[in-house]
């Protein structure tokens, strides 16, 4: 007599999803997008991962600024939270966080420039000169 095994039933909760957003050399979004929609199913946990290639202009001392409440506080449209990029491997830096509450959030990148003696450079999803872009 042989024993028959089956795989366990799938849980009712959808799997955790991570959405990757590969940024351009200067920290802007590909294809000049000004809005990025992250689809999710009800009760689905997800995260967003911003990626920059090491050696790109925006990879030097890169920091993501977002009005998503990273610290769990209440959402405030004009309050931005900073999160530094970390080395993921030998080719990219990442900045990632869980998205616990849906909504329209904004972000921009700041980084050090090796070309100028100026302070930090700042590139946003909508405009390279706008610190409060619309996403």
**Tens of pLDDT, residues 29-87:** 888 777 778 777 777 788 999 999 999 999 999 999 999 999 989 999 999 999 999 99
**pLDDT value of residue 106:** 92
Q: How far apart are CA 78 and CA 108, in angstroms?
A: 13
CB 110 within 8 A of CB 121: yes
Position 14 pLDDT exceeds 70: no
Residues 110-131, mean pLDDT to the nearest whole number: 57
Residues 90-105, mean pLDDT to the nearest whole number: 90
**The tokens 């706008």 sit on which residue?**
130
Q: How confident is the model at residue 135 (pLDDT cuts 50, 70, 90)?
A: very low
Specify the DSSP element, H or E, that contains 22: strand 17-22
Position 131 pLDDT exceeds 80: no
Q: How confident is the model at residue 128 (pLDDT cuts 50, 70, 90)?
A: very low
Q: Exposure of 123 by Cβ count < 10 A (0-12 exposed, 13-18 middle, 19+ buried)?
A: buried
Mean pLDDT of the chain: 79
């Amino acid at each position: 007599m042989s024993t028959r095994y089956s795989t366990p039933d799938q849980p009712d909760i959808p799997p955790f999803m991570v959405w990757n957003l590969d940024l351009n050399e200067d920290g802007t979004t590909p294809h000049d997008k000004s809005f990025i929609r992250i689809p999710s199913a009800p009760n689905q946990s997800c995260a967003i991962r911003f990626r920059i290639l090491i050696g790109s202009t925006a990879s030097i001392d890169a920091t993501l600024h977002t009005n998503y409440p990273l610290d769990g506080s209440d959402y405030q449209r004009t309050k931005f939270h900073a999160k530094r990029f970390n080395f993921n491997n030998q080719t990219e830096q990442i900045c990632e966080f869980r998205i616990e509450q849906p909504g329209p959030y904004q972000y921009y990148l700041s980084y050090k420039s090796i070309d100028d003696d100026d302070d930090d450079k700042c590139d946003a999803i909508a405009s390279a000169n706008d610190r409060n872009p619309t996403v």
